[in-house]
Structure 1
Amino acid sequence: MTHVAAQARVPKKGLIVFLVVAGVLLALGAASAVRGLVVARDTVEVVRVVDGNHVVVNADGEERTLTLAGVRSAIRNPEGLRVGPEYCMGEEAYAWLRDRLPQGATVRVDRSDEGAPEGEQSAVFTVAGKEVNVDMAKAGMAAPTGLGVSGDLEEQIAQANQQAQTAGGRNNGVGLYNRDETCTLGYQLYAAQTELEKVPTAPAANTVVEIDKKSVEYANALDAVRLVQQRIEGLDASSGDFTGLAYAPAKDRLLARANPVVDEGMQVLRDLNAQRNALAGG
């Protein structure tokens, strides 16, 4: 009787285990559907790097183009004839990625259905145990998107982006955040501030005419800084343009540099106006 009862309990225990495992699998499946996590892990051969965003690979004899997951670079500009933020560091990003993923190299890819055009896939590329996507963000060659990667990897890319903002000499940043690169938003702010600093704040003479002349000259230089400041204030990673995506993470740092300059400049104009009013009233 005892033996029969024991046999009856075995299927019940097995059913419980089955339900637990099934529940875990369903939860993981739901998470993957929401987050766009890995749908395949392969070892592939690099055919060629197209630009800073796309790589053609050979997977089991089939060529396919994969988009880098979790990051996005600017458009290539091989002739250097195009201008604008959409092209900032685009050619450099291409060269950087090509050096890390040379033709014929064998690499591991974790592919996802998220973060790529419909019908295509994105991927995290791993070489020698290091994720190329993370290193690309750390070098300032790509901006974080959060698409096609796990939460942990998204956080790693965000941290790498923060490092790119403060790396380099004098904390200038590197790549997209290097204020010595003329296409970057940091350079535009720095250049406008430098021009403002060249304008003396005192009029050539203590007369209404000279004060008005100085006020106009100084206001024009200050307006150039204010225009960059307004552009920074409007940064939005969800705007769809590359400028918003690239510089929204650096918004607070950029405003911390722009705001004091604008505040000081406005005080200079107020002081000039008070000086003028005192003379005009006299």
Structure 2
Amino acid sequence: MGIADLLAGVAGRGDFGVWLGRLDGHPVFTHAADRAHYSASTMKLPVAIAMTRKVDSGELALDQPVTVHNDFASAAGGRFGVNPAEDEAPNTWTKMGEQVPLTWLTTEMITVSSNLATNLVLEQTGVDAANAVLAEYGSGQSVIRRGIDDTAAQRARISNLMSPADLAAVLVAVGNDKSPSGEYVRDLLAGNTWNGEIPAGVPAGTRVEHKNGWDTGIRHDGGIVRPDDAEAFVLTVCTTSDLPDQDASRLIAEIAAAAWDHRHDLEAVR
């Protein structure tokens, strides 16, 4: 079944966006790719890139100590904390009050999608630096305006947004970055342990450098897939729908499988 057929099968169930192409940045298949969705944890990729840029400039260091805490400045004014019940990565919470290296937090942010670690890294980089990554590569539809669980900002309609096309643009940039920082980010993405979407649609053992995100009614994933027998390709899928989580994850995996089946002639994808 082709990607268009898979999307037709969920027509009327919500908003679905797809971008598929190679590392040259040119798409071979798109569907509502410019429509922005709530970003969920896909925003953690630009945060990681912002961090590496500040390391490269000397403003931060990978081994610098950061005290783990749960009190952050809200984008709407005041303070907020991460809800531990909604953070599915417990390791950072076991370090409360302790100092850990910035690189440890960044690894927690990407590989296990820790919300607390994300806000700690974002506190070091600043929201503006993370948003600047999207502004550089994206269309302007995608933004980072606040940390995770900033409910006051959410009530004030200050949100983080991501479109499939803009997530793809960031991944293309990461995939073409030959610097040590580029390799560092790609290795982080390849170490992602939440693999129920794009990686589930390609053969086991395939290197997939990806960052996914989820929330109520939301499942996204975007990654660079590196077959051993074909050129790498970039796939991003954003879903905001009434699909059960398992069905949304399965849809993304099936789209990845369709792309994989055409990896030798990606332009033939339909």
Q: Normalized per residue, which structure has more helix?
A: 1
What's the TM-score, normalizing by structure 2?
0.24
Larger Rg: 1
What's the TM-score, normalizing by structure 1?
0.23
